[in-house]
Structure 1
Amino acid sequence: MTTTTPLLNPRVIALAHYASRALLENVLTRHGATFQQSVTLRLVTVAGEPIEREQLVDGVVGALKIGATEAHSVVDELIAAGLLAPQGPSRVRITDDGRELYDRTGTETAPVTARIYADIPAEDLATAGRVLTLITDRADAELAALNK
């Protein structure tokens, strides 16, 4: 029996996403964190400074394709856990505990990620990146049109 490499399609993308996400969630669970919280912490971390709460919520909504109410709940969970803190009337910042969690989970997942991507030629990764970005942009546009 011969197997062929499947063309890129929604199922192939979903299988790659869920396999990778399961590995990340395994690490996050050991630290009492969720995938949604991890995505939210990342957005605050890469901002490099306190961020407007509404801007953060918009980023979480865009990244996770969830409603604003759910995104606000994730921010509230992180504040209650001491991983984010309010800064002024409308901003939030990452706390030392939040930064430690973000860094620790990143450090724990880095070797696994390196093994997964090992030996994939850079040009293949660049092509995959371009194609997946194009698919994401188009899917986001379709979703925006549906929500008008």
Structure 2
Amino acid sequence: MTEFNAQLIGRTEKALNAILARQLTDIGITEPQWVALTLTVTGGGSGVVARVSEALRVPESTARSRLAELGAAGLVRPTADGGFEATEEGAARWGSVRAAVGPITRTLWGDLPTEDLAVAGRVLETVLSRANSVLSAAA
């Protein structure tokens, strides 16, 4: 059995990102733009710049640039409160990627026992929390 370690996490993340990248090519956006679009579609508004910044681990100016790129592509638009919201086209493209990824996700882990998924979730959440602590201490 493969040892649980950083290499396994990294290889898994790379494989999952490659699957996502194939879908994103169809709609013409990058993975960082996908994160920004997802956060806008699922809860845009005035706080979306900060949420994108946190999710991508970039300065707010970079997050705002990702959102501006999506704006130039007609996928999001600024709101009166200084935030962003998805356009109909942005929501439609986001939905098409989600619809394409759903069956792939079910193939990857849909048949795994619920208990195994719960353990994996707890382990990854612990690793993420600890990594965030390391990053905060280094800042």
Give the TM-score of the pair, scaled to structure 1.
0.88
CA contact (8 A) 2:45 2:81 kept: no
Is 1:51 the equivalent of 2:41?
Answer: no
Percent identical: 32
Equivalent residues in 2 for 1:93-108 (5 A)?
93-108=85-100
Is 1:36 the equivalent of 2:32?
Answer: yes
Residue type matched to 1:125 in 2?
L
Correspondence for 2:14? 18
Give per-residue Cα distances to partners, 1:27-77, cap 9 Å, x unaligned. 101211111111111112221xx411xx22222222222233321210110
- Secondary structure of residue in 1 paired with 2:42: helix
**RMSD (CA atoms):** 1.3
Residue type matched to 2:134 in 1?
E
Shift of 1:89: 4.4
Matches of 1:57 and 1:139, distance apart in 2:
22
CA contact (8 A) 2:70 2:76 kept: yes
Gaps of 5+ in 1: none
Shift of 1:8: 1.6
Give per-residue Cα distances to partners, 1:81-116, cap 9 Å, x unaligned. 111111114121111001001000011111111111
Q: Which among 82, 86, 92 is matched to residue 84 of structure 2?
A: 92
Runs of 4+ in structure 1 over 4 Å off: none
Matches of 2:62 and 2:80, distance apart in 1:
22
Gaps of 5+ in 2: none
Is 1:134 the equivalent of 2:130?
Answer: no
Give the TM-score of the pair, scaled to structure 2.
0.93
Count of matched residue positions in the alignment of Structure 1 and Structure 2:
139
Q: Which among 63, 70, 84 is matched to residue 71 of structure 1?
A: 63
